[in-house]
Chain A
Amino acid sequence: MNSFFDRLEDQLHNAAQAQTADSSARMRLRRGWLKTGTRIVPMLAALAVTVGVVVVALTIASHAHRVGSSNPPTKQTLPSGARMPNPFTIVARYSAASLGLNRPANLAIGPDGNLYVTDAAQHLTVISPDGKVLRRWGGPGQGPGEFNFVPREPRAPGVAAGIAVGADGRVYVDDSGNARVEVFSSTGRFIRQFGRFGSGRGQILFSNYLAVDASGNVYVADDKGETLSKYSPTGAVEWTIGGSAATDTDLVGHFHFSSSSIDSQGRLVITNDDRHRVLYIDSSGRKVDAFGAQGQFMGGACDATVNANGDTFVGSCQEPLLSPHYTEVFNRTHHLIGEWYPSPMGFSPRSGPHAEVFTLGEDGSILRLNVALPGIRS
């Protein structure tokens, strides 16, 4: 009888054959799409020229002084092997070292446009959009205003230190090792905390993800309890979904989201990486929309953010410091409209109040991005 490894080799060989056959079929499809695109592009160009001629003619005819300006053409690339255009361009990069950060863990954008970053040094640092450190607070400990960010996973390089900033400028920090959420003013004054270790109501086993809505309600995912809870602005539990009691399979598993995961309809957009699903949860805890299936998200679905246009950015499950990251963009009808692989982003992009977009790079740097998508341009 063949050994385990011979049989594994046989299985891999058969799977590789099937994959290459499947790949050939997809290549044929893609070529078909490109051919269609080839036909469409000249048509669009001709249309643009026609429109341009009409505009110029009308301008001359009316002796108008104002000449209409148009956005420069959007540069989109189609990297080899990619299925979709890459809509992202890095326009600025601030290294962690230049900002005095030690392994940045998470990033949120405040209503003032400033960046709020947690790191493994147990600090929260406020950084201006042009990369200047404005404030820093925290420090290791269990007291008010102190942090104990612990590794997201055993031996993983990153720490769990979710962060979100409310519309009123209050800063919410997931103090993972102390099983609590701490609330600060925008200047770093400690206001209060909620949550304590445990699996009961209002208790947290291991929080990893945090978001706050426009009304100051706070959403916390417990990665150990596999639950999602909503807390009122005063820290009272409003509801909890998921966990062992869940009957909807979409709500069984590990949830992921961030400060930029609440869409314009007030829905919290989360991923369930065990189920390969993106879920839209309304303010009363009901799943109102969902998409995704096993194999749909390259590298899994472990991070979701949204922009003002309703597009959803899904990040892969690779540990940012260990393997290449995927970022995929889906429009509001859940069609894939862009992707970036291998992406230098460690997390899905966060959108700010002025449509500015930032994220943490897989090397810990802060990246400012231009995102060119239909209907939105940052």
Chain B
Amino acid sequence: MMVEVGERDDQLLEAFANGDPDAFVAFYRRHLASVLAFFLRRTGDPELTADLTAEVFAAALLSARRYQPGEKPALAWLYGIAGHKLTDSRRRGRVEARARKRLALEPLVIDDEDIARIDQLTARADHHPRLETAVQGLPRAQRDAVLARVVEERPYTEIAERMACSEMVVRQRVSRGLKALRTQVEESR
């Protein structure tokens, strides 16, 4: 099955769950830069960033079939995995390779060119670091609503169905979330 360029994240994950490995690779390509940026901002260490990123995508691959679009946007789900890996690595003082071991992935070595590539990729994804931090800081319901509406461009009716609430409530959450984001970004200038 060919993966459409404009296919949504949940469609990619569903396609992967239905037996299309290319769909997961498309998902990886789409979000590699933002996951790298997520880790680089929090660790400041490119090698650690690469290690964590590899583990996150391996973990995402392992659990992708269990992702259910109704629960939260795929990007929030991916950031959830990233957040867990980050806290886990801080707690243990090292990056675990559990997911990669489960998939029997060989350890990869990072060199200077890769570090330059991380800078390049994250610079592209890093246009709005404050915005991403602010999104992560939103109350969960608002964050999920904003990501579903703004990032995934879902219709309000569909989001309302997913979040088991009325369309009016979703609109309020998106509106309040965006307002909070504007305020936070402006205050941090």
Contact = CB atoms under 8 A, between A and B. Distances in A.
Interface string B34-73: 0000000000000000100110011001110111100110
Interface string A309-353: 000000001110111101000000000000001100000000000
Interface stretch (B17-25, B170-178, B179-187): B17-25
Given A19-B61, A317-B84, A4 B110 contact: yes
A5 B54 CA distance: 8
Given A154-B87, A322-B84, A5 B114 contact: yes
Interface residues of B, number: 52
Given A153-B87, A153-B90, A81 B17 contact: yes
A16 B25 contact: yes
Nearest to A151: B87
B21 A8 contact: no
B65 A23 contact: yes
Interface residues of A, number: 40
A9 interface: yes
Nearest to A318: B84
A13 B25 contact: yes
B176 to A, nearest CB: 16
Nearest to A155: B87
Nearest to A223: B91
Contacts of A323: 77, 80-81, 83-84
Interface in B102-132: 102-106, 108-111, 113-114, 117, 121
Nearest to A17: B21
A135 B21 CA distance: 55
Nearest to B83: A322
A319 B87 contact: yes
A295 B102 contact: yes
Given A20-B16, A81-B17, A155-B90, A342 B71 contact: yes
B50 A4 contact: yes
A298 B87 CA distance: 19
Interface string A147-174: 0000001111000000000000000000
Contact of B61 (A16, A294, A298): A16
Given A9-B25, A13-B25, A154-B90, A24 B80 contact: no
A20 B29 CA distance: 19
